[in-house]
Structure 1
């Protein structure tokens, strides 16, 4: 197995700088160093697009009592949703149902178009940790596109770094809320692996260096609240941490669909079985 290397992007002396992680230290190309724990992180890549698969982990499928389609389906998150390790995830004022989804992000390294699954690995630069947050208050109106559900500002943290030479097989993913494990799964649970996802998208969509593909989340995505600290840890990729805050302004009411609280919203946010527990979930 080849050795891994981890690259990060940080704000160093007021400018975005690419650095290499060497133990607990981040080193820039000009020799400047900063402790990793003290660095102000930026997203480790600057993609032209972010594409995410809907369902991929068996536990997630079983949780919702459904079955996988014969092939993956996808949605897109705008690049304005990007966030970084240590960043605040903003729940807009007036919204209630913000859920975490711990994931692994594939980062493209070479322009890819019409490649086979067997060839796809050569087009992947590396991997990073992701949290594919969903603002389910808008699920009734954006269920098809998932645009506001998954694409609102700050809802795509990536990081802390981009790891090259990492083998995705047999790796553990965990999501923590305030230090307590909420999601745990192994990548071998995925129906479609990283190479398959890249090849599938690249059949009709050109993937450019830096583009990001989110590979799905396991069971137990649940609602988080302002003040919560959410961390996603992937074996060999590191631990991505973010905190939840309330936005300073409410979603405008003079235009567009408004946040809703239908059975579908609640069922998705609380795992598909909230109504059978006889207890309405907390609101904060």
Structure 2
């Protein structure tokens, strides 16, 4: 089943898709354009993988890692489907990253890879933008690149793991203004989902609604103000996002991601 979290008529609702519309938990049927889409899961600890596809590492002139290159993301960065993402005026290269997001379903510690999927509740789509101007040193991607407000759209759907028989064989695509710019498959991950869960849970406890962003294949290109970016993972959904500039957010004031406003 595909499930979403949306804001409608002053409240937050769970919703499911019915005949290209949304059915709210209270039974009301509304059009998708009438709601504000929220991240389908309220993220707890979020782990993101750098260079988890060899072709993407080569594209960026990096060697593929020999063990998972993992960094953490704050909740401030997440926005929902159809949200706007800020491209700072001083950025010269800001690219999307279409990723399969794995949602943990229960507490996990010292999990063996053969049992890893027992701890997964489902999947969603993430677009983890990177602003390459802000790289500072060999600890990449660093804090300023990957923890900027509004720079990680996620959603629109949470899909139960039972509905995705093989998450390690899904097609990923990105479209910029309707043009296909990225095409890959989760089968080309360097470190697959079972290994990542085994690795992370070997030294820390994973909890319900923790999320693992599993990396992106090659094909990342610069995006500019006005671009509409669609990131798609087979069987899970199409996540739409628009790039906006400083003037939209009035950057002299603190940003207010949708989750904080509601």
Q: Normalization by structure 1: what TM-score?
A: 0.82
- Secondary structure at 1:201 match in 2: helix
- The equivalent residue for 2:256 is none
Looking at structure 2, the residues matched to 237 and 42 of structure 1 have their Cα atoms a distance apart, in angstroms, of 16
Residue 35 (structure 1) shift = 2.5
1:20 aligns with 2:16: yes
- The equivalent residue for 1:114 is 110
- The equivalent residue for 1:219 is 218
1:177 aligns with 2:176: yes
Residue 160 (structure 1) shift = 0.6
Query: Which of the residues 123, 129, 150 maps onto 1:127?
Result: 123
- Secondary structure at 1:140 match in 2: coil
Looking at structure 2, the residues matched to 93 and 57 of structure 1 have their Cα atoms a distance apart, in angstroms, of 30
Gaps of 5+ in 2: 254-262
Query: Which of the residues 22, 44, 47 maps onto 2:43?
Result: 47
Alignment length (residue pairs): 248
Deviations along 1:3-32, one digit per CA (max 9) or x if unpaired, are: xx1110001211111112234122222212
Asked if structure 2 preserves the Cα contact closer than 8 Å seen for 1:102 and 1:131, the reply is yes
Pair 1:244–1:177, CA change in 2 (3 A): same
Pair 1:123–1:23, CA change in 2 (3 A): farther
Q: For structure 1, which segment, 35-44 or 225-234, has the greater mean C-alpha deviation from structure 2 after superposition?
A: 35-44
Residue 75 (structure 1) shift = 1.0
Residue 186 (structure 1) shift = 1.3
Query: Which of the residues 3, 8, 13 maps onto 1:7?
Result: 3
- The equivalent residue for 1:158 is 154
Deviations along 1:121-163, one digit per CA (max 9) or x if unpaired, are: 0111101011010122211268446111011000111001100
Looking at structure 1, the residues matched to 152 and 38 of structure 2 have their Cα atoms a distance apart, in angstroms, of 12
Q: For structure 1, which segment, 185-194 or 123-132, has the greater mean C-alpha deviation from structure 2 after superposition?
A: 185-194
1:229 aligns with 2:228: yes
Q: Normalization by structure 2: what TM-score?
A: 0.88
Deviations along 1:62-120, one digit per CA (max 9) or x if unpaired, are: 32444322211111111100111000001123333221111111111111121111111
- The equivalent residue for 1:103 is 99
Pair 1:67–1:137, CA change in 2 (3 A): closer
